[in-house]
Homo-oligomer: A and B are copies of this chain.
Amino acid sequence: MRLATIDNGTPDGALIVVSSDAERCLQAGGTLQQAMEGWPQVEPALRSLAGRLNDGEGEELDHGRLLAPLPRAWQWLDGSAFPQHGELMQQAFNLPPIETDRPLMYQGLSDRFLAPRADAPLPSEADGIDFEGEYGVITDAVPMGVTPEQAMAHIHLVVLINDWSLRTIAPVEMKTGFGWVQAKPACAAAPFAVTPEQLGEAWSGGRVHLPLHVTLNGQWFGSPNGREMAFGFHDLVAHAARTRDLVAGTIIGSGTVSNADYGTVGSACLSERRAIEMIESGAPQTPFMRFGDHIRIEAEGGIFGAIDQTVVGA
């Protein structure tokens, strides 16, 4: 089953169920946030709508009106679960390794997620504008102290996210130990939130086993696969819930997708490619984004739909 949110002029939009060819939809009534708050009750009704779509019902889907699945969320916790990314950054910048056997995670801006085709308004090209292609999951309410096994049952939707990042500011904030505020403006999300079973074999071990195709200004940039997470999403959910109840509609991110064979599959952010260039030739060659630059991020097969954004001056 695939869910999406269509712009109806309200902050949370209107929840729709989307047909398998993404050409038709049925209004579900209410919002995705409300669905996450009452998932056991709401899910059967949504699956019934999905069945009607399979039977050919539904109205034409207007892709231009699609918002992020959750246009705003009460909580966004972003991990950094791909070890290859961390290793490359440490090697390039001569940083000490982050000494932890725990998942890395920060609390991010959650009051807005940009629509899949919305411009990304940012204040300055000098900030080192970068994208980050990553997968994420949406949970219902999760009680404090769940095990990873218990956490798996709270993962109801999988999403695709572009975590906009400002690389000139990031190390300055990171050095304080306080995490990122200015370096992490609003993320965007691809339009379709997908139930895990809909991913079939691509959902395994709490990971999304699909390449993420990244295209920068019309040129192939990378296709790393989501399967190489050191921790599964269920581990990340349990980590987040160690000392807090998670509110329904919490979004948990994987961090930028990164693979051991980066030389072949490329990267899902500029910063990592620049790190590889620094390691290989002593200096980065690829510039950060300029106003007018364009990024497209889509999982293989297109099940989440595409993120398709242009950077503009705020």
Residues of A participating in the B interface, judged by any CB pair closer than 8 Å: 72, 74-75, 77, 80, 98-100, 102, 104-112, 121-123, 127, 144-145, 166, 169, 172, 174-183, 185-186, 239-240, 242-245, 247, 250, 314
Contacts and interface: CB of A to CB of B under 8 A. Distances in A.
Contacts of A247: 72, 111-112
A166 B75 contact: no
A166 to B, nearest CB: 6
A127 B299 CA distance: 40
Contacts of A176: 98, 100, 104
Given A176-B100, A314-B145, A111 B75 contact: yes
Contacts of A99: 175
A186 B100 CA distance: 24
A305 to B, nearest CB: 25
8 contacts: A72-B247, A98-B175, A98-B177, A112-B245, A123-B144, A127-B243, A166-B243, A181-B240
Contacts of A243: 122-123, 127, 166, 169, 182-183, 185
Contacts of A98: 175-177
A93 to B, nearest CB: 12
A245 B112 CA distance: 10
A245 B122 CA distance: 10
A106 B172 contact: no
Top 9 A-B residue pairs of the complex, sorted by shortest distance between their CB atoms: A179-B179, A174-B177, A74-B111, A111-B247, A106-B178, A107-B107, A182-B242, A185-B243, A182-B243
- Give the one of A77, A110, A244 with max B CB within 10 A: A244
Contacts of A72: 74, 247
Contacts of A77: 181
B181 A106 contact: yes
Given A106-B178, A111-B247, A144-B314, 8 more contacts: A74-B74, A75-B111, A98-B176, A99-B175, A104-B176, A178-B180, A182-B243, A182-B244
Nearest to A250: B111
A242 B185 CA distance: 9
Contact of A105 (B105, B106, B169, B178): B178
A45 to B, nearest CB: 22
